[in-house]
Each structure stands twice: as C-alpha cells, then as structure tokens.
Structure 1
Amino acid sequence: MSKKSKMFLSGVVEGFYGRPWTMSQRKELFRREQKWGLNTYLYAPKDDYKHRMYWRDLYSPEEAEQLMTLISAAKERGVELVYALSPGLDITFSNPRELAALKRKLGQVSGFGCRSFALLFDDIESEMCPADKEAFGSFAEAQVSVTNQVFLHLKEPRVFLFCPTDYCAAFCTPSVPQSAYLNTVGERLDAGIDILWTGPKVVSQDISVASIEEVSAVLRRPPVIWDNIHANDYDPQRLFLGPFKNRPTELIPKLRGVLTNPNCEYEPNFVAIHTLATWCSYAQKDVSMEGDDQGSDYNPHEALRLALTDWLVEFGRADQPDGARGGPSKPQVCDEEPMQTDGYVPGPKDNPLYTAEPLTLDDLTLLSELFYLPYEHGATAVLMLQELHWLRRHGPGPRDPPEQGKEWRQRAERFDGLCESVVQMFNRLSNAPNRLILYDLYNYICDIKSGVTMAKAYVKTLGGQTPHPALALTDDPEPWGFRGGLSGEFQRMLPSHGNRDLFRGVPDTRVYFIRPFTPTDQPEVLKIFKEMQTETQQKVELVGDRLVEGQVSPSLSCSLVLEDAAGVCGYVFALSDAKTAMTKAQYPETMLQDFPSVMAIQIHSRVPDHSTAKQLIQQTLSSLRVSGSKGVFSEFRSNDRRMFDFLKTLDVFQVLKVDGLPTNLVIMGTKL
C-alpha cells in the first residue's frame, strides 16, 4: 500500500475531449473548490496539443507564463494542481530518447512551480511496436518501467497519478482479479504512485464497496476514482445536471480520492462539482461500514437542492469580466425591471413594456430533472414520458366509453401543462442576467424546448385538434422539427438503439388495415362524414358527398376504408367519370378534361400516421389509373383546414386554380 500521507484527493479532472476550459474559468473553478472544500485539479484536457498529441514539445514562453499563472492561482486557493501528460499515442517505451523527452517536458513544468504530476495511458491501442516487444514482456511492463523512472526523476512527488489502459472492470480480460495487465501494474508500479480507476465501466452507473475492494487487492493500493458520471463529451446532445449519487460514502476510507470529469461546458458543472463536494465532506467524518447509499447521511436529493439553491444566485449575477473573480460580485436583483430606452412609456392601447420574469428554484429543479444523469431521468422527465406513452396507447376513438375519453382529455391537459412549464422555464432562463451560464446551456435548453413542443403538438393531433402547420407530423418535416443526421440514421438501424430509454421495448403502435368497403361499414363512414360536416359548418354541395352517402356507386375497386382497433377511421370513394354523378355542370369542362375522376377522402383526426393514409389514397389512384383515367380531383370545404393541411403534407395532390369556384370551396387534384 502507498507509503505517502493519506490526504483524500477530491476535486475535478479537466479530462474530456473537446474545447478546453479557459484560464479564467479554471481560476473560477479554484475559487469554488476552495469555498466548497475540494483540494485537487487534474490538468488533462485531451485536445490540448501539448498534453497529448504533441506531448514532446516544450511550452513556449507565452504558454509557460500562462501555466505559471495557473499553478500560482491554484496554490493561492489551496488547490493541488496535478499536471498530466498523455504520451501513449506514439511513445516508444524502449527508446531512451523518449524517456528523456518525458523527463524534459515534466521537468519544464516542474520549473513552473508544479509539484504534482500524472502519466495517462488511457484510450490508446494496446499493441506494442516491434522494438518494445523485444524489450518488454508485456504492455503493462513497458508502461510501468517508464512511469517508475519518471517518478524517481521527479524526486517522488507526494501526488503522482497513473492511468492504466485497462482503467475500468469492463476492459479487464477475463476479469479484474485475473487480469494479467492489472496484476503486473499492481505488482511492479512504485508504491508511491496512485492509480486512476473509473469503476465497473467507463461511465459507471454504480460503484460498490465490493468492486473497489476487488480492484484494490489487484492494484495493491486504494484507487483514485476518475468519475465520468457527469461527462458528456461522448454525446453532444446530452447534459448532466443531476447529483453525484450511487457511490456510497462507505467507499471513502477505501479510496485515495475521487475526481469528477464533468460536462465539457464549464458553467453547467456547478451541480456536478457542488454535489461531489457535499459527498466528499464525509471524508472528514467517521463513516459507518454498514448500510448502503440510501442509509448514509449523504442524501443526493438534498445535495442537489443545496447546489441548485446556490446556483440560482449565480444566475442572478451580471456577466463577469474576462478574468478570475476576486470575490463575490454584487448580484443583480433578479426581479428588477429592465431599463427601457429613452424613458418610453406606452399609451393605454399600446403593448405593455416587456418585463422578464425572474428565474426560480423550481425552474432549476425542472432543468436538472430534464438533464439528469446518463442512466436516469429526473422525476418530471419520467412523468412526461409515462404520460406521453399512455396518451399514445389510449388515443380517443369513436367507440370508447365517455369516461375513458374524459380520462384521456384530463391526462392530455396535464401533459400540456408539463410541456408549458418547460417552455416557461426556457423563457425565464433566456432572460437570466448571467449570460455566461445561459450561453453554455442554450443549445441544450433550446433542444428540449423543441422536443416537448413537438410532443405537445402530437398529443393535440391525437385529440382531434389541429396544431400549428409548422408542428404537424409529416413525411417531409422542417429540419428543426426532428433529430436527424447521419449518426441518428445509423443508430436507428442498429438493434441496440434506445436501450437506455425509459421504455426499453418499442412502445405499442396502432395497427391499421386497408380493406374494401362493405355495406356494413356505412354507419361508421357516415358518422365520420357527419363529424366533418359539423366541424366545418359549411353547406357546400360536393360531388364526392353523393359517393359517401351512397347516392352514386363508386367505380370498381375504388371504395376503401381504413380501420384500426377502434373501427373505421378513414375512407376513400372514387368515380372514374365524375360527370355521371353531377346533377348540373358544377365545374368547367377544361378542368374535367384534365381531371375527369373525382375522389372523396376523409381521415379521422385520431390517425396521426400519414404513411398509412398515403397508402390508402395511392391504392385508389392505382385503380383509377388502370381504368384509363388521366387525372383525379377532390373537393374540400375551405374551413376543413385539418384535412386540407393533412393532404398537403402527403405531397400527392396540388391545389387547382379553377375559375368561378365559390370562395368556400377548394379543389385539389393530381395527374395520373
């Protein structure tokens, strides 16, 4: 076991892929760490060229000055800055010049005043080059040999960390106790060097006492946890604002430390670091070895509430200058009315001046629950998903009993209210005085607002209402109305897609049948027909109405119905020669020459599936084409907007310009 002092390392790893944090953000981090009782910062941004890709290159005078300033700032706040180097991409372990390059680079940083170091061999290929295969018996031997020599060259720093290539249990073959790699590291790595470990997986849902005892026995020392529970560099659409949890405080005496590798954007890490600090505070307490996380004094829900309460104060601060905050700045009062230019006062009939509503703790709680943790949604997010799942499965139908329709409407209203709370939270966040936090959050909150707005529109469609045309679910949506991209296309083709969603199985979807119309269907067809007439309240004589009401028989194979579990939910009737159904010359001869056939269409509002409706129509068009028709038209009352917009999205019919039509009539048609 390690011979050095047992100071528990607690703090932050800047170890993600992507744009590194700025110097001012790091200084602000040190201020927060000091305030919250954390003591360590591991400098390891993957995309800092001279940390990883060009690890041999020394720092320029300008870069050296920045690093010295950063090291000094950490010392002023009582934070141990651990400088890490990642040479594993291309190092030749057996080449003395490579070892000299490592010593030279870390020696330079030591000259800046840094006293703590790390060598990281994560996320690299494990195949050795021919020269290393000749010199070492294994990859682990090569890494340990170089690390031990660097450690001695630096005069055995009090803090020196080593990240193995197999840094989690999932990487160990065949298991942690039987891993030849880990056993070599445990046996041969100098006892003064601590080892980083992410737990059972790269992003571990839980880290148990038993798992740490197992790896500690192999490593022959307690590990330092590099915790990726809040990391989001692997998915640019995700952000994690939930509390540090599922790590029992009974772990603390069995660890050398815990460092969180959090979200890429600096400002949203307030919760991750704050709740970790609350958890780490138990390092100074006698923690019972009995019980689990839920039975310990650490309560993740309470830790989250405390973090969000403090974060709310930060949202109320005006933008900070580019540099470390020397101390708490004067907060801007959140509910203060914004200054209006030139003292403008609206008249009695003018729009009132806009006043931003203040952000609340409830808003931040909702935000956290929408962006919770990698394996877990927050309570409100779970509720919204459950409600939408239920509303999808129990959409109202004509045969449903009244009490079931009432329950559906009540739950739809509840879901609508939840969606509206997300929109209101977005609006208040957008008006927060601290724009630095907002700009780091904006892409995420804009995305979730878009998602719930689309879900809200979908539920309205299920309930027979017509959403805004821009929000209608169609086969040709606007690019902002869906989550696309090549990555999404690939994932939808793979069997593992959605395996971390709330509903692991694919939610039940409605099954539709297209079949020929029979006389027994007439009552249900007429019910849909009369509902449409009641909805439009327009008395316009249509040729197609005579087909629906049975006054005129449709052409052969040109009468179809759409059916779901609740019964008939759509119909199409067509006549190859529309003139035979006319009692008078209703339409110009020039139109009838190009569009001689007529089609009557109606799809019930409970059918959101555009592809099924399109198939129904195209099947009828095929029958008309076989009969020799050159084109078909369909009539609609002008205020039947739902059906009119529905058909426009199918891209089958186009609006026809016909002279002399009544203003309350729209004709659509297509050539065959």
Structure 2
Amino acid sequence: MEQRMVLFKWMQRWGLNVYMYGPKDDLKHRLLWRETYSAEESVQLKALVLAAQECGVEFVYAISPGQDITFSSSCDLSLLKQKLRQVKGFGCMAFAILFDDIDHAMCPTDKETFSSFAHAQTSVANEIYQYLGEPPIFLFCPTEYCSSLCYPSLSKSYYLKVIGNELQPGIGIIWTGSTVISKEITPESVEEVQVVIKRRPLIWDNLHANDYAQRRVFLGPYKGRASSLVSKLHGMLLNPNCELEANYLPIHTLATWYRCGLRATQSDGGEKGSESCQYCPNEALNLALADWVKDVNRPLCPSRQLLKEAKEGQARSKPHDVVSQNGDVEPKTEKPSTSESDLLPQGSSAKELEMDKAKESLVEETHKAPKMDVGQPAVKSEKTSPFGPRDSLNDSTDKLRDLSTGTGDIDYQKSSDGPLPHAEVQGVTEQDRVEGKGPLSPQGRAPLLAGTLTLANLRLMVDLFYLPYEHGEETAGLLREFHWLKANSDFVSANAKMELKKGEEWRARAAAFQLACDRIDQLFRQFMSSSNRAIVYDLYPYLWDIRNTLVVAKAFVMWLDGRIERDTYSFNSWMNCFQCEWSFNNIIILVVVAEVWTQ
C-alpha cells in the first residue's frame, strides 16, 4: 500500500498518468475473481484509487477471469458485473479485462454457444464494456498478445482477426511486441499489428519485469523503443520489477522517453527539432541517476517511512554557530541521540535489528573515515586508482578503467614505484561527497560518510543489473576477461613453455580482474551500511548473490595461478578465499576469514 503511494508520487513528478492494478498477490484479481472485496479490503482499495487520482494518475482496475470462466454462463457474467460494479463504487472509472496465459480450450457448453474462443471473449468484453457505461479507458488483453504466440503467424491469426473485427472500437487492445519480453519494438512491427486488430495497440512492456527470474533485477534505462512510437500507440504500460526501489531508474527513463515522443509529435518537422526530440537511453539514465542519488540516501524504513532518528532530528534540531575556514559564521544543526529501539522500523523486531547490525559489521572497517571538522583541509591526489590501495603482493597489478570512460574493457599497465603525484589541498564539497570524489585518505580512498551511496556506486549497480538481453559495459568486459583468463591459463601453468611476456600479461590481467572483483565487494559493503533500509531490503539479495559469485571467480583465477596455498586440508585453504556466513542459534554471524596466500 505504502509503496504504491510512493509510486503514484513518482509518476506525478515525472508526468506519467496511468496505473493498472493487477497484482498476482491479490487473489480476487485472478483466482478468486468471482468474490467481492470485504469491508477491510474495500477501504484499502478505495484509498488506493483516491491516492492515484490525487496525483493525477488514472487508476485502471484489471481482472483476469479467463482461467475458469464459463463464457456462456449468465451466472458468471452477473458475478463479473457485480465485482466491477463494486470497484466502480470505489471511484474507479477505468477497467481492463485480461485473457492472457490461459488455455484456448472451451467447455462443451461454450462450444455450443460460440463458434470460436475469440468470439466468446469478445462477447463477454463487449457486454461488460457497455454495462460499465463505455468508460474512456477499457482495455482488453488477448490470449495471443505477442507475435510469437500467434498461430500460425501474426498476419494469418484467425483469433486476432476476430478480436479486431468484433471488439467494440472504444476498447483498447494490449500487445507486448514480438515476444513476451521484446528486446526491441519497432514502428514497423506496431503498424503490422494495427492492420490486424483494426486499431492502435497499447504496449504492455515487460522489458524490466523480473517475476519470471527470481535471481535477476533490471536497473537499466528504457531502451530499444524509438520515441517516434508515441504517436503510433494507444498507450504504453511498463511492467516493472517486483521490488519498488529497483524501478526508480526504469520509470524515470520511461518518462523521458515519453516526453521525447511528445515533443516529436508536436514539432514542426524541422531537422533541428527532430534532433532535439531524439531519445538517448544513456542521457536519460544520467538524468535519472542524478535524481536518484539525491533520493537514495534518505534514512528510510523498509516501508519507506523516515526512521524515527531522522524525524526527531528534524523536530528537535537546534542551530549552532560554526566558524568555517573562510571565517564566515554558518548555522549548523545537531541531531539528538536516540536509543536503539527508536531506530526500529515499524513492525520490525529486535531480532531484525540484530540481523541488520550483523550485516553492517561487514562494512564497519571499510567505512571508518577520519573525522573532519568544518574547514579542515585534506589532501586530494590528482591521479588515484578507483580501487583504493593495491595489495603489496601485486607489484605489477593493473587497474580497471573507470565506469565513466564507458569502455567496458579491462585495461592494464604495470604500476610504478615512483613518488606520489602532485597533491593539492582543498576542502570537501557536497557535490564531491555525492559523486564519491572527496579528499583522499592516506590509504588512497575518498572517505565517505557511513551509509552514503555515491553516484559512482549507483552507476556500478546499474552496470551489474542492466537489462534482460544486455549486460552493462563494465560487466560485459569483466565476463570477457574471465573467459580469457580461463582459456589462457596455460600461460602460467607449471609446465608452461611459453614466452615470459605472456605469463606476465596473464598475471597483469588477472590482477586487474581481482581488483574489479574487490571493487564490487566494496560496493556491497557500502550498500549494506546505507541508512536507506528500503533499498537495502529490496536489492540486498541480488547484490549479495553477484558479490559471492565474484568472490568464487576471483578465488578460481588465483587458483589458476597457483596462488592458493596447497596443503592436506584443501577445504580450509579454499574457505580462506571467501567471506563466510555462519548461522548459529538463529543469529546470523558474518565472519571475515583472513586470506592465506603463498608467497
């Protein structure tokens, strides 16, 4: 409920105007579609409808009766009308009837009444549409809702031809593209659909949906759809990730795509106007990231309510005069101290708090930064590695190109033992802190406030969890490098008779790969210390999974080089490569085991 309220505010802010309600966890949407909502359920659903309307968002109530409806049954039809009449009483004025993902077979009674499955569906949809007073928004999802499901093909589908001919002209038809999850949707493919269904389709886009892949989440930009599609469609619905916090960037970039399409339809057709209306996914992603980094570091509970610590800090903060470095007097606020119980999210238990503490213990050492008073100067190096200090064992370690370069490949070069580059003295600015460019500590890392996610952190997360058909550039480069190291491991084998340069190249690239893995591990630690528990609870399983995968990959590469200690107890040697999680008496204990390498 609270998350949908947040979603409506996002949509209002970004100029999106339609929300379709059809969650699988609402049994009365699909499995128990005949049953009306109870008094308690009615209150919640009515509040949701009103909240959407207050944000200028049209609330579309969707129902899926196709699994067991008898199309010729007057009883079933009456129950369907009763259900939608109840929802209309909540203030909802837009509806959708869905016949997706069901069997084409009809019961014997329906076969006697209707000549085809398509005729049965259009009969029910048309009657409901007229019963509701022909609402301005009434959507229909066919059983053949993409080209790959059409029999024998889109242009020859008897089912879709009947749907297009028999369905009332005011009813919109939902379409997902060439497949259920379409990599691209072109204007030509939309025009082909329009010819068959006799109207402009409404795209139900599953590009960012992850309900079919529980180990994947998609943070990448809206992509693969030209902005010129806007003028050719009845509408566009994005089926997002199951986790709300994962949808900030997809929905934000969808809004940018939509605005570009609107400008294209309203422009006079000049060359300059058409160029300014072109949608660029990378530019849209940059805009979304700039907004997200401002929102992502708010101290929130999993329900997206402010932590009590933050609320009380806002209510009780008192100004104090602080003298800055330039001598000006600036106001400063201090937050009052709170007890641990005040920091518990609503509905959370002491056990959950203890688990959070255990997880955050992973990052305690990483994020301890020297305290800096106002105006204290700091040393910032002009040329530093994004991975922090290098391992003393890796004298010839290499660096990974920064994400901002956009190369996506791992670059390597031998490090020098010369003096540190020229350093300059300067203070910390808010922009530097947000972008992760603050002054460097003696170890070569920019000290960050505990729990702060920087723009660089968010870019790396997007790169790791990009889109269904595409990895981010750096992640793709990391995969290529791993395959190269595995395929060319004979360069460093015990029986290798290759040139010395090839062995040095392999070890240099292996060191760069290990540094890249360390960078992602550092991202995980920074992420787990975030004060925004809403995003942590939503994205933690995915980041944990990929971080552990890379820990194994890093250990495997080191094993190829013979750098993992070989002894009788090989399990212990391998275990030392990983950071292990042990469970004891229902309390999670996170153990960081010291790494044992051979010299």
TM-score, normalized by the shorter chain, greater than 0.5: yes
SS of the residue corresponding to residue 112 of structure 2 reads helix
Structure 1 residue identity aligned to 2:562: G
Question: Is 2:383 aligned against 1:285?
Answer: no
Question: Is 2:68 aligned against 1:90?
Answer: yes
Separation in 2, partners of 1:324, 1:66: 18
SS of the residue corresponding to residue 161 of structure 1 reads strand
Change (3 A) 1:471 1:148: farther
Question: Is 2:395 aligned against 1:297?
Answer: no
Q: Normalization by structure 1: what TM-score?
A: 0.62
1:73 Cα offset (Å):
0.5
Change (3 A) 1:472 1:82: farther
1:229 match? 207
Structure 1 residue identity aligned to 2:505: E
Change (3 A) 1:321 1:266: closer
Mapping 1:202-601, distance limit 5 Å:
202-287=180-265, 297-320=278-301, 322=303, 354-355=368-369, 356=450, 358-395=452-489, 396-397=492-493, 398-466=496-564
Structure 2 gap ranges (5+): 315-332, 340-364, 370-449, 583-595
Deviations 1:415-436 (A, max 9, x none): 1111111011111111111111
Separation in 2, partners of 1:43, 1:75: 13
Deviations 1:24-62 (A, max 9, x none): 111111101000000000000123110000001011111
SS of the residue corresponding to residue 264 of structure 2 reads coil
**Equivalent residues of 1:227, 1:261 under 8 A apart:** yes
Deviations 1:124-143 (A, max 9, x none): 11111111111001111000
1:84 Cα offset (Å):
0.5
1:235 Cα offset (Å):
1.0
**Equivalent residues of 1:86, 1:119 under 8 A apart:** yes
Change (3 A) 1:190 1:480: farther
1:284 Cα offset (Å):
2.2
**Equivalent residues of 2:304, 2:534 under 8 A apart:** no
Separation in 1, partners of 2:536, 2:312: 16
2:322 match? none
Separation in 2, partners of 1:60, 1:294: 53
**Equivalent residues of 2:312, 2:336 under 8 A apart:** no
Separation in 1, partners of 2:313, 2:175: 42
1:241 Cα offset (Å):
0.6
Q: Normalization by structure 2: what TM-score?
A: 0.70
Structure 2 residue identity aligned to 1:455: A
Change (3 A) 1:412 1:160: same
Separation in 1, partners of 2:30, 2:234: 25
SS of the residue corresponding to residue 290 of structure 2 reads helix
Separation in 2, partners of 1:29, 1:416: 39
1:331 Cα offset (Å):
13
Separation in 1, partners of 2:524, 2:68: 46
Question: Is 2:2 aligned against 1:24?
Answer: yes
Structure 2 residue identity aligned to 1:38: L
Separation in 2, partners of 1:411, 1:357: 32
Change (3 A) 1:454 1:234: same
1:57 match? 35
Separation in 1, partners of 2:208, 2:313: 29
Change (3 A) 1:225 1:90: same
Separation in 2, partners of 1:264, 1:360: 24
Change (3 A) 1:447 1:153: same
**Equivalent residues of 1:198, 1:225 under 8 A apart:** yes
Change (3 A) 1:331 1:226: farther
Change (3 A) 1:321 1:269: closer
1:156 match? 134
**Equivalent residues of 1:460, 1:467 under 8 A apart:** no
Change (3 A) 1:212 1:60: same
SS of the residue corresponding to residue 110 of structure 1 reads helix
Deviations 1:449-491 (A, max 9, x none): 00111111111111120179669679xx99989xxxxxxxxxx
**Equivalent residues of 1:52, 1:85 under 8 A apart:** yes
Separation in 2, partners of 1:466, 1:116: 63
Change (3 A) 1:357 1:157: closer
Separation in 1, partners of 2:507, 2:217: 33
Change (3 A) 1:170 1:478: farther
Structure 1 residue identity aligned to 2:184: D
1:184 match? 162
Deviations 1:475-511 (A, max 9, x none): xx99989xxxxxxxxxxxxxxxxxxxxxxxxxxxxxx
1:641 Cα offset (Å):
9.2
Separation in 1, partners of 2:336, 2:551: 31
Separation in 2, partners of 1:202, 1:381: 25
Separation in 1, partners of 2:240, 2:367: 40
Separation in 2, partners of 1:315, 1:460: 36
Structure 2 residue identity aligned to 1:308: L
Question: Deviation above 4 Å: which 4+ runs of structure 1?
Answer: 287-291, 293-296, 320-325, 329-333, 336-342, 467-474, 477-481
SS of the residue corresponding to residue 119 of structure 1 reads strand
Separation in 1, partners of 2:225, 2:573: 44
Structure 2 residue identity aligned to 1:97: C
Separation in 2, partners of 1:93, 1:440: 40
Change (3 A) 1:155 1:341: closer
1:314 Cα offset (Å):
2.1
Deviations 1:134-153 (A, max 9, x none): 10011110000000000000
Deviations 1:172-198 (A, max 9, x none): 011111100100000000000001100
**Equivalent residues of 1:241, 1:272 under 8 A apart:** yes
1:358 Cα offset (Å):
2.8
Structure 1 residue identity aligned to 2:148: A
2:359 match? none
Deviations 1:188-234 (A, max 9, x none): 00000001100000011111111100001111111111000000111
SS of the residue corresponding to residue 286 of structure 1 reads helix
1:541 match? none
**Equivalent residues of 1:39, 1:80 under 8 A apart:** yes
Structure 1 residue identity aligned to 2:453: L
Structure 1 residue identity aligned to 2:540: Y
Greater C-alpha radius of gyration: 1
RMSD after superposition = 3.2
- Alignment: residue pair count: 446
1:305 Cα offset (Å):
1.5
SS of the residue corresponding to residue 106 of structure 2 reads coil
Mapping 1:614-633, distance limit 5 Å:
none
Separation in 1, partners of 2:209, 2:195: 28
SS of the residue corresponding to residue 27 of structure 2 reads coil
Structure 1 residue identity aligned to 2:551: T
Identity among equivalent pairs (%): 47
Change (3 A) 1:429 1:338: farther
1:312 Cα offset (Å):
1.5
SS of the residue corresponding to residue 466 of structure 2 reads coil
1:413 Cα offset (Å):
1.3
1:506 match? none
Change (3 A) 1:310 1:400: same
**Equivalent residues of 1:457, 1:471 under 8 A apart:** no
**Equivalent residues of 2:297, 2:451 under 8 A apart:** no
Structure 1 residue identity aligned to 2:281: P
